[in-house]
Amino acid sequence: FAHHVAKDGILVNSVAPAGMATEKAKALGFLEELAKASPLGRGAEPKEIAEWVLMTGSPKNTYMTGENVIVSGGYIYA
C-alpha cells in the first residue's frame, strides 16, 4: 500500500510490539516469563511503544515508509 500513496507524500508504517507490560499481561503472569527470555529483562511499557509511533507519525519522519518495525526489546531474537 505504501508504494501507492508515496507519490502523494504519504508515509505508511506499522509497529509490531511484542511483550507489552500491560495490566492483563501482568495478571496472567506473562511478564515473568518474558523477563527470563528478554535481553532487557522486562516487557515494554505501553508509553515506550507510543513514543515510537508518535515519532514515525511526526514531521521528523520524512523518509521511512512501507516498514513494519518489530519492537520487542530483543525478545524475538533471544
- Stretch 1-25: mean pLDDT, rounded? 89
Q: How far is Cα of residue 34 from the mean position of the Cα atoms in its chain? A: 16
Q: What is the pTM of this model?
A: 0.75
- Band (pLDDT 50/70/90 cuts) for residue 65 is very high
* CA–CA dist 51, 48 (Å, integer): 5
Write down the domain spans for the chain. 2-77
Segment 18-55, tens digit of pLDDT? 888 889 988 998 888 888 888 999 989 999 999 989 99
CATH superfamily of 2-77: NAD(P)-binding Rossmann-like Domain (3.40.50.720)
- Interstrand relation of 67-71 and 13-17 (parallel, antiparallel or unpaired): parallel
